Amino acid sequence: MPKPRILVIDDEAPIRDSLKMTLEYEGYEFIGAATGQEGLALAEREAPDMVLLDVKMPGMDGLEVLERLRNMNETLPVVVVSGHGTISTAVEATKKGAFDFIEKPFPSERVLVSLRNALDSRQLRDENRSLKKAVEIRHQMIGESAGLKQAMAAVGRAAPTNATVLITGESGVGKELVARTIHRNSLRSRERFVQVNCAAIPEELIESELFGHEKGSFTGATEKQVGKFEQADRGTIFLDEVGDMSAKTQAKVLRVLQEGEVERLGSARTVKVDVRVIAATNKNLEEEIERGHFREDLYFRLAVIPIHVPPLRERPDDVAPLVRHYMDYFSRENNVRPKRITQAALDALARYRWRGNIRELRNTVERMIIMTGSDTIDLADLPETVRSPAAWSGGGGLASPKQPSDSEAAKMGTLREFKENAERMFLVGKLRENGWNISKTAEVIGTPRSNLYKKLEQYRSEPDDRRRVQIRGRKVRTPQGSAPGNARSGQPEGQWHRKHTARRRGQISIFAQRTVGAKIEI
Ligand SMILES: Nc1ncnc2c1ncn2[C@@H]1O[C@H](COP(=O)(O)OP(=O)(O)OP(=O)(O)O)[C@@H](O)[C@H]1O
Ligand SMILES: [Mg+2]
């Protein structure tokens, strides 16, 4: 670490000399100035970490120098020293922003303590500022498209209110970012933002996670647990993937929204909570209501302010600013020289159909920053999939391994069936391309692993390709005719089996398939 640099502005040479000795002995770098003018010039040229400033000097006096120093750099700590230590000088110096005031003659220890305090406070302030900046950059919503602007206008209107917000949009479009932006711009911004991913918590644990439980309220409840709603009291709770909540949990959440109170499992007592609810889903809740999977009354409670975040393919104007933002961000993150990108490469990125939306774009840019050796990213540096015209949103339509045949198309009567088929073909194609490795596939298509699992369960991917299933690095061999892991045997070929694997924070459902062919790595 470089030595802290201390600028001493004092017209008395013996004082400068003795401070020089003390400071250098203590490991500081000493810079001396005999007049205010000289001090100001050195402050500009040498960028000291702090200043020790005498008040009574011929020419420009210390208090004027202090004022000018503050104008030059308001974060530079200045400790004022005066032999004419009247209260009024001290008060004036403090008013003008001095960090500390020391009366002459002073013991060197007094100066050193003040110096250390000033430097510590500066370091803290710098760290604070850079942390704040990093958080701001991480949570910045980039984009200029009309679609994003419309969503942001709704965010601006919703933020200062207490209204419940329902954010909808495909995976990776920025729903969580929108939720955080609303919280940061709300009156609750100093309170907690508590996030609950309703899809990642198993059914049997979600109630105690949301509402808490008393010790002994069920087998395994060895300690009392405060639920997320209580944790978010006075703040915001973000119910992510709210479309995945069971009917029972939906009923309980509705009650919290209606009554403003929660009841811990195993307790007859209710606790009042003041929580703002923001929910998000990539499901079409209206369709879910029609199918009887989501309560209509809860939907209306949640969607007081609905905000839809459009997919990236509907806002290609956002691609270039996002690419530039992430190029900048990942160059700094990975300590590599900033690169430029050609227009042709930007155009191809804007044309690509980003199924994983911004998350996929972000991963692609990170990979390009790390993998491109030269200073310029050109077409050839883009992943093959992005360059291929079949993957463009306007051009070839689906990036799936094959287009549906006429007979297949005929089977896809409704738009919904068509979408499901197309998605299934895409996923199977991608899984095959990536050797049936789920983590890798999820990364390539820019979707969370949990989401891919869900999709796999939903679409029951083709039954004829798998035999071996690898769970978190542990191979589970599935001999012909018997099921993997703890799944029941005797099921028809291709049946999916649910397997619960304990995880550190709860459990996650893993769907293993007993069939023939490749392996899945999780
Ligand atoms: N407008 C944007 N500007 C910059 N980064 C963005 C923007 N929108 C999203 N991102 C980034 O994209 C990634 C995905 O966003 P986020 O997690 O908010 O999406 P999501 O809609 O919640 O996805 P999922 O449905 O998969 O949970 C995050 O890293 C986020 O910071
Ligand atoms: Mg999310």
Q: Among 195, 285, 359, 366, which is best to mutate for testing ligand 1, by the most ligand atoms less than 8 A from CB?
A: 359
In a domain, 59, yes or no: yes
Question: Which of the two residues, 139 and 514, has the higher pLDDT score?
Answer: 139
Give the nearest ligand 1 atom to 240 CA.
27
State pLDDT tens for residues 505-516. 333 333 333 322
The pLDDT of residue 23 is above 70: yes
Q: Do residues 201 and 168 both lie within one domain?
A: yes
Q: Whose CA is nearest to atom 9 of ligand 1?
A: 174
State pLDDT tens for residues 78-116. 999 987 667 888 888 989 999 999 988 888 899 999 999
> Which domain-ending residue is among 310, 327, 344?
310
Give me the pLDDT at residue 295, please.
96
pTM: 0.60
Number of domains present in the structure of the chain: 4
With a 6 A CB cut-off, is 288 part of the ligand 1 pocket? no
Question: Ligand 1 centroid vs 362 CA: distance in angstroms?
Answer: 9
Give me the pLDDT at residue 414, please.
67
Q: Do residues 380 and 417 both lie within one domain?
A: no
- At residue 473, what is the residue type? G
Instruction: Report which bound ligand comes closest to the CA of 195.
Output: 2
Give me the pLDDT at residue 413, please.
60
With a 6 A CB cut-off, is 176 part of the ligand 1 pocket? yes
Give me the pLDDT at residue 479, please.
37
The pLDDT of residue 483 is above 50: no
Question: Ligand 2 centroid vs 278 CA: distance in angstroms?
Answer: 12
Instruction: Report which bound ligand comes closest to the CA of 139.
Output: 1
Lowest mean pLDDT, pick from 133-147, 221-235, 303-317: 133-147
> Which domain-ending residue is among 68, 100, 135?
135
Residue 304 DSSP SS3: coil
In a domain, 140, yes or no: no
Q: What is the mean pLDDT of residues 362-382?
A: 92
State pLDDT tens for residues 342-355. 999 999 999 999 99
Question: What CATH number should be reported for the domain holding residue 367?
Answer: 1.10.8.60
Residue 483 and residue 491: Cα distance in Å, rounded?
8
Lowest mean pLDDT, pick from 63-77, 87-101, 179-193, 466-480: 466-480
Question: Ligand 1 centroid vs 130 CA: distance in angstroms?
Answer: 22
With a 6 A CB cut-off, is 448 part of the ligand 1 pocket? yes
Q: Do residues 408 and 388 both lie within one domain?
A: no
Question: What CATH number should be reported for the domain holding residue 244?
Answer: 3.40.50.300
Q: Do residues 298 and 159 both lie within one domain?
A: yes
Residue 9 and residue 33: Cα distance in Å, rounded?
5
Neighbours of 132 (CB within 10 A): 10
The pLDDT of residue 130 is above 70: yes
Give the nearest ligand 1 atom to 361 CA.
12
Whose structure tokens read 């005797």?
Answer: 490
pLDDT band, very low/low/confident/very high, at 497 (cuts 50, 70, 90): very low
Query: Kind and range of the H or E element at 417?
Result: helix 415-433
Residue 337 and residue 66: Cα distance in Å, rounded?
39
> Which domain-ending residue is among 80, 104, 135?
135
Question: Which residue range is the domain that position 171 belongs to?
Answer: 146-310
Q: Do residues 306 and 361 both lie within one domain?
A: no
The pLDDT of residue 313 is above 60: yes
pLDDT band, very low/low/confident/very high, at 408 (cuts 50, 70, 90): very low
State pLDDT tens for residues 250-268. 998 999 999 999 988 888 8
Q: Do residues 304 and 317 both lie within one domain?
A: no
Q: Which of 360, 167, 193 is nearest to 276 (CA)?
A: 193
With a 6 A CB cut-off, is 172 part of the ligand 1 pocket? yes
Q: Do residues 384 and 417 both lie within one domain?
A: no
Q: Do residues 389 and 441 both lie within one domain?
A: no
Q: What is the mean pLDDT of residues 126-135?
A: 80
Question: What CATH number should be reported for the domain holding residue 490?
Answer: 1.10.10.60
Question: Ligand 1 centroid vs 176 CA: distance in angstroms?
Answer: 6
Give me the pLDDT at residue 73, please.
87
- Interacting residues of 201 by C-beta distance below 8 A, sequence separation 6+: 209, 506
Question: Ligand 1 centroid vs 349 CA: distance in angstroms?
Answer: 17
Which of the given ranges, 317-321, 422-426, 480-484, has the highest pLDDT on average? 317-321
Q: Do residues 81 and 168 both lie within one domain?
A: no
Tokens linked to 34: 């005999």
Give me the pLDDT at residue 235, please.
96
With a 6 A CB cut-off, is 173 part of the ligand 1 pocket? yes
pLDDT band, very low/low/confident/very high, at 429 (cuts 50, 70, 90): confident
Give me the pLDDT at residue 222, please.
81
Q: Do residues 432 and 521 both lie within one domain?
A: yes
With a 6 A CB cut-off, is 242 part of the ligand 1 pocket? no
Q: Whose CA is nearest to atom 24 of ligand 1?
A: 171
Question: Ligand 2 centroid vs 165 CA: distance in angstroms?
Answer: 14
Residue 46 and residue 431: Cα distance in Å, rounded?
59
With a 6 A CB cut-off, is 362 part of the ligand 1 pocket? yes
With a 6 A CB cut-off, is 171 part of the ligand 1 pocket? yes
Question: Ligand 1 centroid vs 141 CA: distance in angstroms?
Answer: 9
Q: Do residues 153 and 298 both lie within one domain?
A: yes
Q: Do residues 129 and 171 both lie within one domain?
A: no
Question: Which of the two residues, 436 and 215, has the higher pLDDT score?
Answer: 215
In a domain, 141, yes or no: no
The pLDDT of residue 318 is above 70: yes
With a 6 A CB cut-off, is 142 part of the ligand 1 pocket? yes
Q: What is the mean pLDDT of residues 54-67?
A: 93
Question: Which of the two residues, 421 and 275, has the higher pLDDT score?
Answer: 275
The pLDDT of residue 463 is above 60: no
Residue 257 and residue 487: Cα distance in Å, rounded?
39
Question: Which of the two residues, 248 and 483, has the higher pLDDT score?
Answer: 248
State pLDDT tens for residues 375-407. 999 999 999 888 876 656 554 333 333 344 444
